[in-house]
Structure 1
Amino acid sequence: MSSPSRGIVQLPPIDAPPPKTFDIRKYKTAASTLLRSGRVNELRRLNRTLPACSLPVKILQRIFIACAQTSFQIPTWTWLELTFVCSTWRQAALDCPELWCYIDFSHPKWTTLSLHRSRMFPISVRAMIEPNNQHSIHRTLHHAPMIRDVHLISSIYDIGPLIGTLKNPNRYLESLRINISRPDHDHGIRYSKRSTPICVSPLPSMKYLELHRTPFSLVSPRYTNLRHLSLHHLPLSECPSRPDFLALLERFVMLEHITLVHAFPKTAVAGSYSSARAIHLPTLSTMSLTGSAQELSSILECIVLQPTGRLHCHVDRMGDYKTHFVRLAHVVGSHFHGTAREMSLDTLVLTGREESLRFTEGHALNPDFRQSLRLRAFGGTEIVEPLLDLVIGPDMHTARDEAIVFALTSVWSALPLTDIHSLTLQNLDIITQKSWPKLLPSLRSLRVIDVAGHPPSGLLWALLLNARSHARLEHDDMSSMLLPTLEDIYLHNVDCFAGGLMVSSSGPVNSYCDLDDSRFLDVLSAYLEDRQQCGLAVRSLSLSRCSNVSMDILKDVRGCVSHLLWDHRGLYKEGTVKLATGSSAVYRSNWPGTEPLAFRHYFRLRTLLDLE
């Protein structure tokens, strides 16, 4: 076995855990005692009455295989213990050669036994590498005639002796997963650059490669039929140059899925804006990228995705978002503009998420507050997966609503949205009336708005003021009407008494000192009435599992829509709530309340009606 110092350098050793005991005498003694007691037949009859012992053999074997596939991640347990539960389970295990292909490395005795019973089938090497099994794994990787897949979990200290072997894997290998646990200091990962003899013959069986914190040299050009490449947290010392990275990818002509999580070429990390040639991978259908906006842009500029391909982007480090996010939005938008004829976007789903309370008890902004925004764009009703799945945040910059709104506006303006017919908003209420008019004009074909969770008061006020301005016109010019084709509105789990954010005349996008006491359903009713006066009545309004629904407002809405549907959850009786004298709006628990008095509140809808 190679010395641990050959795989890595300049890293201190760690204490090895004690080896697991294997005492066959205990099993023999227990079996002899059971036989002498005369209770074997009694126990067999008892086992026959247990449902678990009377399952069909095929079902048992499928359960055993599922256990064998994952049990290596539980250090205190081995799947071979299943074979000692009862005679039925043991016979089912012995009659399943595929089960014994999952070699048990918890003890040399189990390793020898499972290798012997695999009966020359392609084996699976799955283990958490420890000093007590390092030699067995090394020997198996070297001498096993056929290895189907390898899945190793290891510390940086124990993987060293196996690196050379993993660079020259078994020629029958189909899947390779290496997960190096995160060390105390990521900058301390330094793999040895000592060269190892590498064969040049291709390995056409390899289909799946997933690497976490490993040397980049494990991505071999010999994998000529590779379908799935997944790289995670590539050490900085292992990052290749962008030309070398693209040249290697270009060899994988059968590649279908690429996943890069903080594993980008050096030029992307260094911030180079120099142009690079774009590579075409004819079968590439999915790209999943996680990193900064700058890193994602540098990669997307160089890889051409198929027209029906799916793009998953997670920007978890915004940095200078006003510079880098515009570039990312341009690259993403260019792809979808180029594929609009073959696969146009028709559904948008926006989801907001807050990681913690926005304010402290003293109504100060919580320093630990983080939020994220997820945008999903779908290309057709028959397609379940989104063509674009973009997550923004959370990081320190997204604690400010301005960063979220700027990022959304950048992507929104870059995408071809003229064919969008459905817009879904989930817990997204931070976009105020000031920002929505920049987004809505591109949705000229929108027919459905679906709202869930926090009500988007900013959207509603933008629509209301726009419709009111057109309802008072003496001519029929509707060219500036927002959402002229809107037909249906759906509300799910919405607090209809909720108020919203006002627009600050200066400063940040949102002002938490100015809150609107107008209730959401009241504003919606006013919008529907004004839209009807414009000759563009909405076809239907549906309320499902909503709270604080006023029957008085529903009566007003009934005259503005052709179809009104609601359930009786949270419904107020007739006459109990009035628009002019009712209580003010309610707010989320993590927004400032009515105290201290420095926070100002306005009943915008009442003021608007009084002006008439």
Structure 2
Amino acid sequence: MSEIQDTNTSSISAWESFGASRISHMDRLSASSGVAVLEEARLKLEREIEAICATATTMRMRRNSLLPISRLHPDVLACVFSFLAVDETEIPRNRGRLYQYGRSSAAIRESLYENQGWIRVTHVCRHWRNVALDHPSLWGVDICSFPAWTDERMRRSKHAPLDITYPFVQGGSVGAMKVSNSKFIDLLSALGRVRELTLCRLNPRDIGELSPYLLGAASLLESFSCDCPLEPNDHSTSRPLPLLPSNLFDRTTPRLRKLTLTNVLISLEAPLYDSVVDLSLSSNRHSCFDSSYFTRDRLLALLHRMSRLQSLEIYHMLPCDSEQAIPPSITPLADLGGRVSLPRLRSLIVSGNIQDCAWLLQALCIPPSTTLRLDGLSEGSALIQHYHTLLSIVASHMHGDISTIPIQCLSINFFPDQLHIEGWRTFPEHLFSLSTQEIESCNQPEISVDFLAVTTDRFMQTLRHFCEEPFFDEVAALDVSTTTVKMSAFTWRDFFGRFTSVQKLAASGAVVEPLIDELSQNPFVASESEDSDSTPPEWLFPALRRLKLCRANFGHYDSGEEERLCIALVELLEDMQDCPTTNIEELVIQNCGIQDIDIEDLRSIVPTVTWDSRSGAAPRLSQEPYEDEEEEEDWYDDEPNFFDEHPDVDMHDIFHAFGMH
């Protein structure tokens, strides 16, 4: 330590001695000296100070060059910067109002610093700045994100590819477009360098003015997105969508891979589609379209040309049958001229009317490994066979093939006027445990189907038909959930009697009590009388090993019901333990309002019992809003205490309460 201090002292002494020798000729000067002499002395001292600063900068650069990070090659460092440049949180942009009453100057400077995003790396040291400036590709990423810097970033990008996301200003006149969007027009002069082009909130009336600037060749274009906002309350199916020119980009887009169109179309015969592997067509109108240039035949002809398609998303952009004024029944396959094959498709998302979704799925031939998302809206013209046809196609997709394993886990959620079905090919642990993972981090389903605005009778018929598909006897895990208080016409054996391979079962909401009752009817003990007239019921889930119960009313309601349900569960588990056919090895209980003493009874029977330690049950929605009308006067006095002494309910509980996983 003393050697370091001696070195520091000698260095300071050396530089002090050197500095003194540089200005020793000024020792005799004072503030009383002549004006000309003092002016000359001050200028010499300024030059000496500048020299000292330059020397200090050189030494700092030398010091930085000896740091371990300086071992990185400039190209490697630039690659690190490129990851930062495309990070959504590091895009340079105005992140809010900078000048607010009461904010300190330090806070304002911090906001300005945050606005710079990834460009902050150029302020770390001279070497990092030089590396960033020597790699023009960094400066072309989302070049319009901070308009005040667009010109400088354009200059620094040199001839590198550009990513342009331009939000148009709404409410301006058509004639003033060239003036208000002059900077964007200047950017389009470099269309040959554009790699990604996104036009946000483009007014349909401005398409004619803008089109001439989009007709140049775009040989580097990889992604094109355009959305045109609809007029308020414009939900007409007869009014055609605006059209972009069919000769967009001079028909020269050899690298185009992603195309996203919202409330706007490009002629389906345009060659621009041929190289696309990711196509998204969407509209804010929740109904099919009746247009001469957007028909079912034209859409199928387009998809037939796009055999390399890997991702297809259609949100309320399915065309109507041109021969009928109302959405038609399912078109026979013979009328479609054969099915359209998309052998490379990995993801298919379709949202629209039930009958239109069924038509499209009938018309397509996709690999069983394709991730499937369906969002079907029921309308007056939808018939029960539309649901059956759609779910039959979904069930066959779940079955898999030689290269794709079948669905291993099935989840069915009942909401008021909604039926939600999900399927996984790999086991989703979060459905059958007390996992507190964020929704985004959970294992996402390979198949998801939503039926909206569907009556209870209709979705019961639909579900019964769906559960009769032959391959469901191979499903190993089942999750059934509801947010309603009553589930009329629901019996487990009628719907899931053929699910004989289920080893893991999760039940949530009003379906828990009938599940316990029906499992208790299993023939755990063979009948002693061979001449008995009564035939024992068939086994329900004979392979069951893991059971999860969620949001069941074990407590805080009618005490007699509480006692009956707990006793029924205990007796059921005891019968299972004594039966050689089935045996519960793990029990999970969540938001059931069960007490500690009951948990101890369960743990004396089941080897592993997992509990959330909460004695309060989560609320459920009533299917009949006025079913308790007689007790309305005393409602506040008799309101159940859902959370007891544990009022801290997190977001995970709320999602579970409404059947969302």
Return closer, same or farther for 1:558/1:75 CA change in 2, 3 Å cut-off.
closer
Structure-1 residue corresponding to 2:588: 543
Aligned residue pairs, count: 505
Q: Which letter does structure 2 place at the counterpart of 1:209?
A: L
Give runs of aligned pairs for residues 333-412 of structure 1, distance below 5 A. Answer: 333-337=395-399, 339=401, 342-352=404-414, 372-381=418-427, 384-393=443-452, 397-398=453-454, 400-412=455-467
Return closer, same or farther for 1:312/1:165 CA change in 2, 3 Å cut-off.
farther
Give runs of aligned pairs for residues 32-181 of structure 1, distance below 5 A. Answer: 62-66=83-87, 81=116, 87-88=123-124, 91=129, 94=133, 96-102=135-141, 104-105=143-144, 110-130=149-169, 131=177, 133-157=180-204, 159-160=206-207, 161-163=209-211, 166=214, 170-181=218-229
Structure with bigger gyration radius: 2
Give the alignment partner of residue 264 of structure 1, picking from 314, 318, 322.
318
In the aligned structure 2, how far is the partner of 1:535 from the partner of 1:413?
A: 28
Deviation at 1:421, TM superposition (A): 0.9
Q: Which consecutive unaligned segments of at least 5 residues does structure 1 have?
A: 1-34, 49-53, 354-369, 501-514, 572-584, 600-612
The TM-score, its normalising length taken from structure 1, stands at 0.68
Deviation at 1:164, TM superposition (A): 5.8
- SS of residue in 1 equivalent to 2:255: coil
- SS of residue in 1 equivalent to 2:271: coil
Q: Which letter does structure 2 place at the counterpart of 1:374?
A: H
Q: Which letter does structure 2 place at the counterpart of 1:293?
A: I
Structure-2 residue corresponding to 1:522: 567
The TM-score, its normalising length taken from structure 2, stands at 0.64
Higher mean C-alpha displacement, 483-492 vs 98-107: 98-107
Is contact 1:487-1:540 (8 Å) kept?
A: yes
Return closer, same or farther for 1:106/1:481 CA change in 2, 3 Å cut-off.
closer
In the aligned structure 2, how far is the partner of 1:129 from the partner of 1:555?
A: 64
Return closer, same or farther for 1:519/1:204 CA change in 2, 3 Å cut-off.
farther
Return closer, same or farther for 1:69/1:86 CA change in 2, 3 Å cut-off.
closer
Is contact 1:431-1:456 (8 Å) kept?
A: no
Deviation at 1:458, TM superposition (A): 2.8
Specify which structure has the bigger relative contact order, considering alpha-carbon pairs within 8 angstroms and separated by 6 or more residues.
1
Is contact 1:351-1:427 (8 Å) kept?
A: yes
Is contact 1:546-1:570 (8 Å) kept?
A: yes
In the aligned structure 1, how far is the partner of 2:588 from the partner of 2:242?
A: 63
Q: Within the alignment, does 1:425 sit opposite 2:490 as a pair? A: no
Return closer, same or farther for 1:245/1:63 CA change in 2, 3 Å cut-off.
same
In the aligned structure 1, how far is the partner of 2:97 from the partner of 2:270?
A: 35
Deviation at 1:531, TM superposition (A): 4.3
Structure-2 residue corresponding to 1:292: 353
String of CA shifts for 1:238-289, please: whole Å, max 9, x gaps: 5622121111111112111111100112329731533212011121122111
Deviation at 1:459, TM superposition (A): 2.6
Q: Within the alignment, does 1:280 sit opposite 2:345 as a pair? A: no
Is contact 1:467-1:527 (8 Å) kept?
A: no
In the aligned structure 2, how far is the partner of 1:72 from the partner of 1:244?
A: 41
In the aligned structure 1, how far is the partner of 2:349 from the partner of 2:122?
A: 46
Give the alignment partner of residue 543 of structure 2, picking from 470, 485, 488.
485
In the aligned structure 1, how far is the partner of 2:145 from the partner of 2:609?
A: 61
Structure-1 residue corresponding to 2:491: 435
Deviation at 1:170, TM superposition (A): 0.9
Deviation at 1:231, TM superposition (A): 0.8
In the aligned structure 1, how far is the partner of 2:277 from the partner of 2:204?
A: 30
In the aligned structure 1, how far is the partner of 2:245 from the partner of 2:470?
A: 47
Deviation at 1:302, TM superposition (A): 0.6
Structure-1 residue corresponding to 2:630: 596
Deviation at 1:437, TM superposition (A): 2.1
String of CA shifts for 1:427-453, please: whole Å, max 9, x gaps: 556545733222111201111112456
Structure-2 residue corresponding to 1:301: 362
Is contact 2:482-2:511 (8 Å) kept?
A: yes
Fraction of identical pairs, as percent: 17
- SS of residue in 1 equivalent to 2:542: coil
Structure-1 residue corresponding to 2:384: 322
Is contact 1:412-1:439 (8 Å) kept?
A: yes
Structure-1 residue corresponding to 2:513: 457
- SS of residue in 1 equivalent to 2:390: helix
Q: Within the alignment, does 1:226 sit opposite 2:226 as a pair? A: no
Return closer, same or farther for 1:431/1:273 CA change in 2, 3 Å cut-off.
same
Higher mean C-alpha displacement, 400-409 vs 238-247: 400-409
Deviation at 1:345, TM superposition (A): 1.9
In the aligned structure 2, how far is the partner of 1:87 from the partner of 1:198?
A: 41
In the aligned structure 1, how far is the partner of 2:146 from the partner of 2:605?
A: 75
Is contact 1:467-1:531 (8 Å) kept?
A: no
Of Structure 1 and Structure 2, the greater helix share is in 2
- SS of residue in 2 equivalent to 1:456: helix
In the aligned structure 1, how far is the partner of 2:506 from the partner of 2:409?
A: 11
Please give the root-mean-square deviation of Cα atoms over the aligned residues, in Å: 4.6
Is contact 1:447-1:485 (8 Å) kept?
A: yes
Deviation at 1:564, TM superposition (A): 3.7
Deviation at 1:196, TM superposition (A): 5.7
String of CA shifts for 1:187-230, please: whole Å, max 9, x gaps: 57655669665688663311111111112427843343321111
Deviation at 1:335, TM superposition (A): 3.5
Is contact 1:428-1:455 (8 Å) kept?
A: no
In the aligned structure 1, how far is the partner of 2:504 from the partner of 2:351?
A: 31
String of CA shifts for 1:118-154, please: whole Å, max 9, x gaps: 1211111111023455333344334433211111211
In the aligned structure 2, how far is the partner of 1:278 from the partner of 1:68?
A: 44
Return closer, same or farther for 1:568/1:468 CA change in 2, 3 Å cut-off.
same
Deviation at 1:535, TM superposition (A): 4.4
Higher mean C-alpha displacement, 131-140 vs 76-85: 76-85
Return closer, same or farther for 1:324/1:568 CA change in 2, 3 Å cut-off.
closer
In the aligned structure 1, how far is the partner of 2:357 from the partner of 2:365?
A: 13
Structure-2 residue corresponding to 1:245: 299
Is contact 2:408-2:477 (8 Å) kept?
A: yes
Return closer, same or farther for 1:192/1:211 CA change in 2, 3 Å cut-off.
closer
- SS of residue in 2 equivalent to 1:459: helix
Q: Which letter does structure 2 place at the counterpart of 1:309?
A: T
Deviation at 1:336, TM superposition (A): 3.7
